[in-house]
Amino acid sequence: MTTPIKAHQRGIKTTRNQFEAYLNELRVNKPFRENKFEGSDPDILRRTWDQLAAKLNALGGPCKDVSGWKRVFTDWKSQARGKARKLKLVQAQTGNVGVPPKPLTDLEEQLLDLTGRELNKDDDDIGEGDIVMEYNDVEASQASTSQKKIRPPKRKTSLLGCLENLANQSSIDDNNKMVEELNKIANELKQKRKIQSKQLQIELLKLKLKYPTHDFIFDSSESE
């Protein structure tokens, strides 16, 4: 007897408990694992799948009929074998191979130990993104967090900031860049002194206009 499937359940992710129940059936039921049922009862395979589907549907995840569960586990095996093949190819390569593929999960390792790691003719049609498994959500979140780039602190461009940048450098490999920073500081100081000198000259002119009978001495050496 098949289980009716409600439309809203089709998007629910298969849970870890459901994958573990399937693995346990493979582990304890050798004829089911090898798909070789001997004897006079031709319906034993159908009844085994009916019983497994009922068990899976009672575990709190999505509810599927027998054909739906067959598709889930067929795709899962194909995906796991594809990942195992990619990992094997990467391990055989030398030098820079780019970003390594994701390792197999513990459930995928158990699945391949039970069903074999050799690819079937239809396995290449299943991509790694075709199966969404609930137990992978935490792993994906941890991987995403570990891969976040740490942004370097912004360099300060003010006069004080230039000095801080030089002081905070643990080593300076580019002497030209250090000279460039020092020249920038010197130019800013020079411009500041020129402005102060002009301001002093203006103030002196104001005093002379206000007190024409007085003599004012302006020491230009301090403003140069």
Residue 173 scores a pLDDT above 70 = no
Q: What is the pLDDT of residues 13-39, one digit of tens each?
A: 999 999 999 999 999 999 899 888 777
Angle at 187 between CA 185 and CA 189, to 5 degrees: 70
Any idea which of 53-67, 84-98, 154-168 has the lowest mean pLDDT? 154-168
Q: Would you list the domain boundaries of the chain?
A: 11-146, 159-222
Phi and psi at residue 218, in whole multiples of 5°? -110, 115
Give the E-state strand segments of the chain in sequence order.
Answer: none
Q: What predicted TM-score, i.e. pTM, was given to this entire model?
A: 0.51
Which strand (E) or helix (H) includes residue 107? helix 106-115
Categorize the per-residue pLDDT at 215 as very low, low, confident or very high, splitting at 50, 70 and 90. confident
Mean pLDDT of 70-95: 89
Name which of 130, 117, 115 is nearest 84 in CA terms.
Answer: 117
Residues 73/89, Cβ–Cβ less than 8 Å? no
Q: For residue 201, what are the CA distances in angstroms to 85, 190, 219, 224? A: 82, 17, 10, 12
For residue 57, name the pLDDT band (cuts at 50, 70, 90): very high
CB 136 within 8 A of CB 13: no
pLDDT in tens, 135-155: 444 444 444 444 444 454 454
